[in-house]
Structure 1
Amino acid sequence: MTDTSTPPASDASAPEAVTEASAAADASTEASAEAPAEAKKSESVASDSDLFRQSEIAADYVEGLLDILDYDGDIDELVSAGRPMVEVVGGRLQPLVGQRGATLEALQELTRLAIFRATGSPSRLLLDIGGYRAARRKELAAVARNAVEKVKEHGEAVRLEPMSAFERKCVHDVVNAIPGVQSESEGVEPNRRIVVRVAE
């Protein structure tokens, strides 16, 4: 069994490889929000057992990080919506989230690297700490609905502020569920943003 309870030793090529693979996985996740249902059905997905194995590796790795950083938290590992997830619940976890989730995103990339090193495959693991992502989803749903209202009222496209792949996916999901409007992403990271406009 691969030991992922402690952060991996420095390896110049591995972080670069997993960053590129992780970016591709995030792009695929975001793109799937805009893809037709037929295309989604045709996508090959890992088995639930593979996904749960990824969540187990991630949970072990996160537990090791918490021990090193001297943070306490309960760790839940699960598979949701076809992707592995790890949720950390507890008090005094805000520093691990950071401003607008920046630290959380960095920890997620490190955890995906742990999975990559253990399995040799990129992962779409979603890491949540202190319920940040659930709360952020609600905020982004409100942002998306507000943009839709403006588009329907004025007929002009609305450009939102730059967002992470996770945040863009949340907005795409809300907009694409509303008839008469559509969303698409433009620009490059870290300034990639969503444009909401009248459906063509």
Structure 2
Amino acid sequence: MSAERTEHALSEDMVEDRGDSASQDAAAEKPSAANRLEEEGDIAADYLEELLDIADIDGDIDIEVRNGRTYISIVADDDSEGLESLVGEDGEVLEALQELTRLAVLSATETRSRLVLDINGYRQERTGHLQKIAEDAAASVKENGKPVALEPMSAYERKIVHDAVADLGLVSESEGEGNGRHIVVSAD
């Protein structure tokens, strides 16, 4: 297996030193948070590299830290059938793998991780689909004034829809519990 790792740290995660004590205190705290996220990414990448080796699946691992969260992407140069199996139907295997990776980080650091795992751009593609769902629901609410209940989705996906609905000037709330948790879009 040829797993290659690339790391990115965006400048928004860095703190400028302005010379005053408050800035120095913030600068002293921020690198530790950035270092924690980088360590989280390294642990997650090691875990995922080992998993890919065991499954004999080729993929490159990219680590990016942005907005206070670690993003791990696994991509292949071609449409690797093995990577697609790690996404599963409706991203179910990807969600489980993300949770296992978070547990591996928790085990190593004793700190809960909020890392996001993506495989072959599935989450980016899904985000576009979720935004379309939000737009369609908003159009329906504006047209007939009745609330629209969406299909159940993960917390990560609900966050994307909530943001999209808010951008469209409507209100959304999560309802239900567990696997049945879903969003209801309304005008107020």
TM-score band w.r.t. shorter chain: 0.7 to 0.9
Match among 132, 155, 162 for residue 172 of structure 1: 162
Aligned to 1:50: 36
Q: Which secondary structure state, in structure 2, belongs to the residue aligned with residue 141 of structure 1?
A: helix
Q: Which secondary structure state, in structure 1, belongs to the residue aligned with residue 167 of structure 2?
A: coil
Which aligned pairs between 1:151-170 and structure 2 lie closer than 5 A? 151-170=141-160
CA distance in 1, matches of 2:123, 2:108: 26
Aligned to 1:98: 88
Measure how far apart 1:165 and its partner are: 1.0
Match among 179, 183, 188 for residue 194 of structure 1: 183
TM value normalised by structure 2:
0.79
Letter of the aligned partner of 1:115 in structure 2? V
Measure how far apart 1:78 and its partner are: 1.1
Gap runs ≥5 in structure 2: 1-29
| Total equivalences in the alignment | 154
Aligned to 2:19: none
Measure how far apart 1:48 and its partner are: 1.9
Indicate whether 1:114 and 2:104 are aligned.
yes
CA distance in 1, matches of 2:167, 2:36: 30
What value does the CA root-mean-square deviation take over the aligned residues? 1.3
Gap runs ≥5 in structure 1: 1-44
Structure showing greater relative contact order (alpha-carbon pairs closer than 8 Å, 6 or more residues apart): 1
Measure how far apart 1:62 and its partner are: 0.4
CA distance in 2, matches of 1:61, 1:85: 14
CA distance in 1, matches of 2:167, 2:68: 19
Q: Which secondary structure state, in structure 1, belongs to the residue aligned with residue 178 of structure 2?
A: coil
Alpha-carbon displacement from aligned partner over 1:49-71 (angstroms, at most 9, x marks no partner): 21121111111110010000110
Which aligned pairs between 1:36-75 and structure 2 lie closer than 5 A? 47-75=33-61
TM value normalised by structure 1:
0.74
Letter of the aligned partner of 1:78 in structure 2? E
Is the radius of gyration larger for structure 1 or structure 2?
A: 2
Indicate whether 1:135 and 2:125 are aligned.
yes
Which aligned pairs between 1:82-97 and structure 2 lie closer than 5 A? 82-90=68-76, 91-92=80-81, 93-97=83-87
- The list of structure 1 runs, each at least 4 consecutive aligned residues, that deviate by more than 4 angstroms after superposition, is none
Measure how far apart 1:80 and its partner are: 2.3
